[in-house]
Protein backbone atom coordinates (compact mmCIF):
# COMPACT_ATOMS: atom_id res chain seq x y z
CA UNK A 1 0.00 0.00 0.00
CA UNK A 2 1.44 3.38 -1.06
CA UNK A 3 1.36 6.10 1.57
CA UNK A 4 0.99 9.75 0.58
CA UNK A 5 1.75 12.57 3.01
CA UNK A 6 -0.23 15.55 1.78
CA UNK A 7 2.27 18.14 3.00
CA UNK A 8 5.24 20.00 1.59
CA UNK A 9 6.73 20.56 5.07
CA UNK A 10 10.24 19.11 5.41
CA UNK A 11 9.69 18.91 9.18
CA UNK A 12 6.59 16.72 8.76
CA UNK A 13 8.46 14.54 6.31
CA UNK A 14 11.26 13.95 8.82
CA UNK A 15 8.77 13.13 11.57
CA UNK A 16 6.74 10.67 9.51
CA UNK A 17 9.99 8.74 9.03
CA UNK A 18 9.74 7.82 12.73
CA UNK A 19 6.73 5.69 11.67
CA UNK A 20 7.71 4.58 8.18
CA UNK A 21 10.22 5.41 5.49
CA UNK A 22 7.96 4.19 2.69
CA UNK A 23 5.90 7.22 1.73
CA UNK A 24 5.77 10.04 -0.76
CA UNK A 25 5.25 13.65 0.31
CA UNK A 26 3.25 15.84 -2.05
CA UNK A 27 2.23 19.49 -1.83
CA UNK A 28 -1.56 19.73 -1.97
CA UNK A 29 -3.57 22.87 -2.64
CA UNK A 30 -6.79 22.91 -0.66
CA UNK A 31 -9.37 25.59 -0.02
CA UNK A 32 -8.37 27.20 3.29
CA UNK A 33 -11.41 29.46 3.68
CA UNK A 34 -13.34 28.88 6.90
CA UNK A 35 -16.56 29.99 8.53
CA UNK A 36 -15.98 32.91 10.87
CA UNK A 37 -17.51 31.09 13.81
CA UNK A 38 -15.45 27.91 13.62
CA UNK A 39 -13.19 27.20 16.62
CA UNK A 40 -9.43 26.92 16.12
CA UNK A 41 -9.52 23.23 17.11
CA UNK A 42 -12.25 22.43 14.63
CA UNK A 43 -10.49 24.48 11.95
CA UNK A 44 -7.33 22.35 12.14
CA UNK A 45 -9.36 19.16 11.79
CA UNK A 46 -11.48 20.54 8.91
CA UNK A 47 -8.42 21.75 6.98
CA UNK A 48 -6.59 18.45 7.49
CA UNK A 49 -9.61 16.64 6.07
CA UNK A 50 -9.77 18.91 3.04
CA UNK A 51 -6.08 18.30 2.30
CA UNK A 52 -6.52 14.54 2.71
CA UNK A 53 -9.62 14.49 0.52
CA UNK A 54 -7.86 16.48 -2.22
CA UNK A 55 -4.95 14.03 -2.07
CA UNK A 56 -7.28 11.01 -2.04
CA UNK A 57 -8.87 12.22 -5.28
CA UNK A 58 -5.43 12.35 -6.90
CA UNK A 59 -4.22 9.06 -5.38
CA UNK A 60 -7.36 6.92 -4.98
CA UNK A 61 -5.42 3.66 -4.51
CA UNK A 62 -3.17 5.02 -1.75
CA UNK A 63 -3.46 5.71 1.93
CA UNK A 64 -3.27 9.48 2.35
CA UNK A 65 -2.46 11.60 5.40
CA UNK A 66 -3.47 15.26 5.69
CA UNK A 67 -2.43 17.60 8.52
CA UNK A 68 -2.95 21.16 9.59
CA UNK A 69 -1.15 22.79 12.53
CA UNK A 70 -2.32 25.99 14.21
CA UNK A 71 -0.93 28.05 17.08
CA UNK A 72 -3.67 29.48 19.26
CA UNK A 73 -3.71 32.03 22.08
CA UNK A 74 -6.84 33.64 23.51
CA UNK A 75 -8.84 31.91 20.79
CA UNK A 76 -6.80 33.74 18.13
CA UNK A 77 -4.88 31.78 15.52
CA UNK A 78 -1.31 32.96 14.85
CA UNK A 79 -0.10 32.18 11.33
CA UNK A 80 3.37 32.68 9.93
CA UNK A 81 4.58 36.22 10.70
CA UNK A 82 4.82 38.43 7.61
CA UNK A 83 7.67 40.61 8.85
CA UNK A 84 9.82 41.31 11.94
CA UNK A 85 7.20 43.70 13.31
CA UNK A 86 4.46 41.07 13.26
CA UNK A 87 6.87 38.51 14.65
CA UNK A 88 7.61 40.87 17.54
CA UNK A 89 3.87 41.19 18.20
CA UNK A 90 3.43 37.41 18.21
CA UNK A 91 6.33 36.82 20.61
CA UNK A 92 5.12 39.57 22.97
CA UNK A 93 1.71 37.91 22.99
CA UNK A 94 3.23 34.49 23.80
CA UNK A 95 5.69 35.85 26.43
CA UNK A 96 5.19 34.57 29.99
CA UNK A 97 2.09 32.56 29.10
CA UNK A 98 0.75 29.26 27.92
CA UNK A 99 -0.70 28.75 24.45
CA UNK A 100 -1.95 25.79 22.43
CA UNK A 101 -0.58 24.09 19.38
CA UNK A 102 -3.26 22.06 17.63
CA UNK A 103 -2.69 19.65 14.78
CA UNK A 104 -5.67 18.23 12.97
CA UNK A 105 -4.94 15.03 11.07
CA UNK A 106 -6.95 12.94 8.66
CA UNK A 107 -6.14 9.51 7.25
CA UNK A 108 -8.09 8.23 4.24
CA UNK A 109 -7.81 4.84 2.59
CA UNK A 110 -10.60 3.74 0.26
CA UNK A 111 -13.89 4.25 2.09
CA UNK A 112 -12.31 4.60 5.53
CA UNK A 113 -11.60 8.07 6.87
CA UNK A 114 -10.36 8.91 10.37
CA UNK A 115 -9.98 12.50 11.57
CA UNK A 116 -8.52 13.54 14.91
CA UNK A 117 -6.72 16.37 16.60
CA UNK A 118 -3.90 16.63 19.09
CA UNK A 119 -3.48 19.57 21.46
CA UNK A 120 -0.23 20.46 23.22
CA UNK A 121 0.09 23.29 25.76
CA UNK A 122 3.31 25.26 25.39
CA UNK A 123 4.58 27.62 28.11
CA UNK A 124 6.85 30.52 27.26
CA UNK A 125 9.28 32.24 29.57
CA UNK A 126 8.82 35.97 30.10
CA UNK A 127 10.75 37.44 27.18
CA UNK A 128 12.58 40.76 27.30
CA UNK A 129 12.75 43.00 24.21
CA UNK A 130 16.36 41.86 23.96
CA UNK A 131 15.31 38.18 23.95
CA UNK A 132 12.78 38.90 21.20
CA UNK A 133 15.23 40.90 19.06
CA UNK A 134 17.81 38.13 19.45
CA UNK A 135 15.33 35.45 18.41
CA UNK A 136 14.17 37.42 15.37
CA UNK A 137 17.83 37.90 14.39
CA UNK A 138 18.24 34.10 14.16
CA UNK A 139 15.89 34.14 11.14
CA UNK A 140 14.01 31.14 12.51
CA UNK A 141 10.54 32.68 12.97
CA UNK A 142 9.44 33.52 9.45
CA UNK A 143 8.36 30.20 8.01
CA UNK A 144 6.75 28.99 11.22
CA UNK A 145 3.21 29.31 12.57
CA UNK A 146 3.25 31.43 15.72
CA UNK A 147 6.69 32.80 14.83
CA UNK A 148 8.83 30.21 16.59
CA UNK A 149 10.24 26.72 16.09
CA UNK A 150 10.52 24.61 19.23
CA UNK A 151 12.86 22.23 17.37
CA UNK A 152 15.40 25.06 17.01
CA UNK A 153 16.52 28.01 19.11
CA UNK A 154 12.84 28.56 19.90
CA UNK A 155 13.39 25.83 22.51
CA UNK A 156 15.20 28.46 24.57
CA UNK A 157 12.03 30.60 24.74
CA UNK A 158 9.88 27.86 26.26
CA UNK A 159 10.18 26.48 29.78
CA UNK A 160 8.02 23.43 29.18
CA UNK A 161 5.16 21.78 27.38
CA UNK A 162 2.29 19.51 28.27
CA UNK A 163 1.48 16.90 25.66
CA UNK A 164 3.22 15.59 22.56
CA UNK A 165 6.38 17.51 21.64
CA UNK A 166 6.27 16.42 17.99
CA UNK A 167 2.79 17.86 17.69
CA UNK A 168 4.39 21.28 18.29
CA UNK A 169 6.91 20.56 15.52
CA UNK A 170 4.00 19.74 13.19
CA UNK A 171 3.09 16.04 13.27
CA UNK A 172 1.61 14.20 16.29
CA UNK A 173 3.52 11.01 15.46
CA UNK A 174 2.40 9.02 18.49
CA UNK A 175 -1.35 9.57 17.96
CA UNK A 176 -0.97 9.18 14.20
CA UNK A 177 0.84 5.88 14.68
CA UNK A 178 -2.09 4.55 16.70
CA UNK A 179 -4.48 5.55 13.92
CA UNK A 180 -2.29 4.04 11.20
CA UNK A 181 -2.27 0.75 13.10
CA UNK A 182 -6.04 0.57 12.59
CA UNK A 183 -5.33 0.76 8.84
CA UNK A 184 -2.89 -2.14 9.23
CA UNK A 185 0.02 0.12 8.39
CA UNK A 186 2.88 -0.89 10.62
CA UNK A 187 6.21 0.79 11.20
CA UNK A 188 9.26 -0.59 9.46
CA UNK B 1 35.97 32.29 27.31
CA UNK B 2 36.32 28.64 26.31
CA UNK B 3 33.36 26.41 27.08
CA UNK B 4 33.85 22.74 27.94
CA UNK B 5 30.97 20.27 27.87
CA UNK B 6 31.99 17.43 30.18
CA UNK B 7 30.09 14.75 28.26
CA UNK B 8 30.84 12.29 25.48
CA UNK B 9 27.16 12.08 24.49
CA UNK B 10 26.60 13.06 20.84
CA UNK B 11 23.00 13.94 21.74
CA UNK B 12 24.10 16.47 24.38
CA UNK B 13 26.60 17.93 21.95
CA UNK B 14 23.87 18.51 19.35
CA UNK B 15 21.59 20.10 21.94
CA UNK B 16 24.22 22.46 23.34
CA UNK B 17 24.56 23.82 19.78
CA UNK B 18 21.10 25.35 20.26
CA UNK B 19 22.81 27.69 22.76
CA UNK B 20 26.29 28.07 21.28
CA UNK B 21 28.49 26.47 18.66
CA UNK B 22 31.70 27.52 20.42
CA UNK B 23 32.46 24.71 22.82
CA UNK B 24 34.51 21.56 23.15
CA UNK B 25 33.02 18.27 24.34
CA UNK B 26 35.29 16.04 26.42
CA UNK B 27 34.67 12.67 28.02
CA UNK B 28 35.26 12.94 31.78
CA UNK B 29 35.71 10.06 34.18
CA UNK B 30 34.18 10.80 37.55
CA UNK B 31 33.47 8.65 40.58
CA UNK B 32 29.84 7.47 40.19
CA UNK B 33 29.53 5.78 43.57
CA UNK B 34 26.69 7.13 45.70
CA UNK B 35 25.33 6.78 49.22
CA UNK B 36 22.54 4.24 49.34
CA UNK B 37 20.12 6.70 50.89
CA UNK B 38 20.49 9.48 48.31
CA UNK B 39 17.36 10.32 46.29
CA UNK B 40 17.43 9.98 42.50
CA UNK B 41 16.99 13.74 42.11
CA UNK B 42 19.89 14.53 44.39
CA UNK B 43 22.02 11.83 42.72
CA UNK B 44 21.73 13.48 39.30
CA UNK B 45 22.80 16.85 40.75
CA UNK B 46 25.68 15.33 42.75
CA UNK B 47 27.02 13.39 39.76
CA UNK B 48 26.77 16.45 37.48
CA UNK B 49 28.79 18.40 40.01
CA UNK B 50 31.47 15.72 40.20
CA UNK B 51 31.82 15.67 36.43
CA UNK B 52 32.00 19.47 36.28
CA UNK B 53 34.56 19.61 39.10
CA UNK B 54 36.74 16.98 37.41
CA UNK B 55 36.58 18.97 34.17
CA UNK B 56 37.27 22.26 35.98
CA UNK B 57 40.49 20.78 37.40
CA UNK B 58 41.63 19.90 33.89
CA UNK B 59 40.46 23.18 32.33
CA UNK B 60 40.76 25.79 35.11
CA UNK B 61 40.52 28.77 32.74
CA UNK B 62 37.35 27.58 31.01
CA UNK B 63 33.67 27.54 31.79
CA UNK B 64 32.69 23.89 32.25
CA UNK B 65 29.29 22.19 32.09
CA UNK B 66 28.59 18.82 33.72
CA UNK B 67 25.34 16.84 33.34
CA UNK B 68 23.84 13.60 34.53
CA UNK B 69 20.50 12.24 33.34
CA UNK B 70 18.52 9.56 35.19
CA UNK B 71 15.24 7.82 34.44
CA UNK B 72 13.24 7.16 37.59
CA UNK B 73 10.10 5.15 38.32
CA UNK B 74 8.86 4.24 41.82
CA UNK B 75 12.04 5.78 43.22
CA UNK B 76 14.11 3.28 41.23
CA UNK B 77 16.73 4.48 38.75
CA UNK B 78 16.76 2.72 35.37
CA UNK B 79 20.18 2.73 33.71
CA UNK B 80 21.04 1.52 30.23
CA UNK B 81 19.65 -1.98 29.69
CA UNK B 82 22.31 -4.67 29.48
CA UNK B 83 20.42 -7.01 27.18
CA UNK B 84 17.01 -7.51 25.49
CA UNK B 85 15.64 -9.24 28.58
CA UNK B 86 16.42 -6.29 30.87
CA UNK B 87 15.12 -3.90 28.21
CA UNK B 88 11.84 -5.86 28.17
CA UNK B 89 11.64 -5.52 31.98
CA UNK B 90 12.22 -1.77 31.79
CA UNK B 91 9.59 -1.22 29.09
CA UNK B 92 7.03 -3.35 30.98
CA UNK B 93 7.69 -1.22 34.04
CA UNK B 94 7.19 2.01 32.09
CA UNK B 95 4.11 0.76 30.16
CA UNK B 96 0.87 2.66 30.81
CA UNK B 97 2.40 4.91 33.45
CA UNK B 98 4.21 8.14 34.10
CA UNK B 99 7.88 8.28 35.08
CA UNK B 100 10.42 11.02 35.63
CA UNK B 101 13.51 12.00 33.69
CA UNK B 102 15.86 14.07 35.82
CA UNK B 103 18.92 15.89 34.57
CA UNK B 104 21.29 17.41 37.09
CA UNK B 105 23.53 20.12 35.66
CA UNK B 106 26.44 22.06 37.05
CA UNK B 107 28.24 25.06 35.56
CA UNK B 108 31.61 26.10 36.97
CA UNK B 109 33.69 29.09 35.98
CA UNK B 110 36.48 30.20 38.31
CA UNK B 111 35.03 30.48 41.80
CA UNK B 112 31.42 30.46 40.64
CA UNK B 113 29.50 27.18 40.66
CA UNK B 114 25.79 26.75 39.93
CA UNK B 115 24.04 23.39 40.25
CA UNK B 116 20.43 22.71 39.31
CA UNK B 117 18.13 19.96 38.20
CA UNK B 118 15.29 19.70 35.72
CA UNK B 119 12.49 17.16 36.03
CA UNK B 120 10.22 16.10 33.16
CA UNK B 121 7.27 13.72 33.55
CA UNK B 122 6.95 11.27 30.68
CA UNK B 123 3.78 9.22 30.09
CA UNK B 124 3.90 5.93 28.25
CA UNK B 125 1.07 4.28 26.39
CA UNK B 126 0.09 0.78 27.48
CA UNK B 127 2.50 -1.39 25.53
CA UNK B 128 1.68 -4.87 24.27
CA UNK B 129 4.35 -7.59 24.16
CA UNK B 130 4.31 -7.02 20.39
CA UNK B 131 5.01 -3.29 20.85
CA UNK B 132 7.91 -4.07 23.18
CA UNK B 133 9.40 -6.70 20.86
CA UNK B 134 9.10 -4.33 17.92
CA UNK B 135 10.83 -1.51 19.82
CA UNK B 136 13.66 -3.77 20.96
CA UNK B 137 14.10 -4.92 17.34
CA UNK B 138 14.82 -1.31 16.30
CA UNK B 139 18.08 -1.50 18.30
CA UNK B 140 17.39 1.92 19.82
CA UNK B 141 17.16 1.00 23.52
CA UNK B 142 20.63 -0.24 24.36
CA UNK B 143 22.67 2.92 24.74
CA UNK B 144 19.89 4.86 26.45
CA UNK B 145 18.97 5.26 30.11
CA UNK B 146 15.56 3.68 30.74
CA UNK B 147 15.79 1.73 27.50
CA UNK B 148 14.17 4.24 25.15
CA UNK B 149 15.00 7.35 23.16
CA UNK B 150 12.18 9.88 22.87
CA UNK B 151 14.05 11.56 20.01
CA UNK B 152 13.69 8.38 17.94
CA UNK B 153 11.06 5.69 17.52
CA UNK B 154 10.66 5.81 21.31
CA UNK B 155 8.42 8.81 20.60
CA UNK B 156 5.79 6.30 19.45
CA UNK B 157 5.73 4.70 22.93
CA UNK B 158 4.90 7.94 24.75
CA UNK B 159 1.60 9.80 24.59
CA UNK B 160 2.91 12.99 26.15
CA UNK B 161 5.27 14.72 28.51
CA UNK B 162 5.08 17.50 31.06
CA UNK B 163 8.12 19.74 31.16
CA UNK B 164 11.13 20.27 28.92
CA UNK B 165 11.36 17.78 26.04
CA UNK B 166 15.11 18.28 25.60
CA UNK B 167 15.63 17.33 29.21
CA UNK B 168 14.36 13.86 28.25
CA UNK B 169 16.87 13.75 25.40
CA UNK B 170 19.64 14.58 27.87
CA UNK B 171 20.20 18.33 28.17
CA UNK B 172 17.70 20.83 29.63
CA UNK B 173 18.72 23.55 27.16
CA UNK B 174 16.18 26.14 28.24
CA UNK B 175 17.10 26.06 31.96
CA UNK B 176 20.80 25.78 31.15
CA UNK B 177 20.58 28.81 28.88
CA UNK B 178 19.15 30.85 31.76
CA UNK B 179 22.04 29.76 33.99
CA UNK B 180 24.65 30.48 31.32
CA UNK B 181 23.26 34.01 30.96
CA UNK B 182 24.25 34.63 34.59
CA UNK B 183 27.82 33.74 33.56
CA UNK B 184 27.57 36.29 30.75
CA UNK B 185 27.70 33.53 28.15
CA UNK B 186 25.33 34.49 25.40
CA UNK B 187 24.09 32.49 22.46
CA UNK B 188 25.63 33.10 19.09
**Interface contact A156-B18, CB threshold 8 A:** yes
- B188 part of a folded domain: no
pLDDT (mean) for A137-166: 96
Exposed, middle or buried by CB within 10 Å (0-12, 13-18, 19+), for B177?
buried
What is the number of structural domains in chain A?
1
Tell me which residue in B18, B153, B158 faces A153 most closely, judged by beta carbons: B18
Query: A60: domain range?
Result: 3-182
- B187 part of a folded domain: no
Task: Express each pLDDT in B117-168 by its tens digit.
Answer: 999 999 999 999 999 999 999 999 998 999 999 999 999 999 999 999 999 9
Task: Express each pLDDT in B52-83 by its tens digit.
Answer: 999 999 999 999 999 999 999 998 999 999 99
- A62 part of a folded domain: yes
Tell me the CATH number at B158. 3.90.950.10
- B131 part of a folded domain: yes
- B79 part of a folded domain: yes
Chain centroid to Cα A159, Å, comes to 20
- B49 part of a folded domain: yes
- A110 part of a folded domain: yes
User: Is A68 an annotated catalytic residue?
Assistant: yes
ipTM for the complex? 0.90
Q: Determine the pLDDT at residue B7.
A: 94
Query: What integer best gives the mean pLDDT of chain B?
Result: 94
Exposed, middle or buried by CB within 10 Å (0-12, 13-18, 19+), for A177?
buried
- B132 part of a folded domain: yes
Query: For the whole model, what pTM was predicted?
Result: 0.92
Tell me which residue in A19, A156, A178 faces B177 most closely, judged by beta carbons: A156
Instruction: Let me know: does B175 contact A159? Beta carbons within 8 Å.
Output: yes
Amino acid sequence: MDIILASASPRRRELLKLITKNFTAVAIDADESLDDNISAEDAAAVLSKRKAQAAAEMYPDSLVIGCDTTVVIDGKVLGKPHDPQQCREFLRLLSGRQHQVITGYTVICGDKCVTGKEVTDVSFRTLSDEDIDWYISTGEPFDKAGGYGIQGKGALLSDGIRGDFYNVVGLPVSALYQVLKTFNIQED
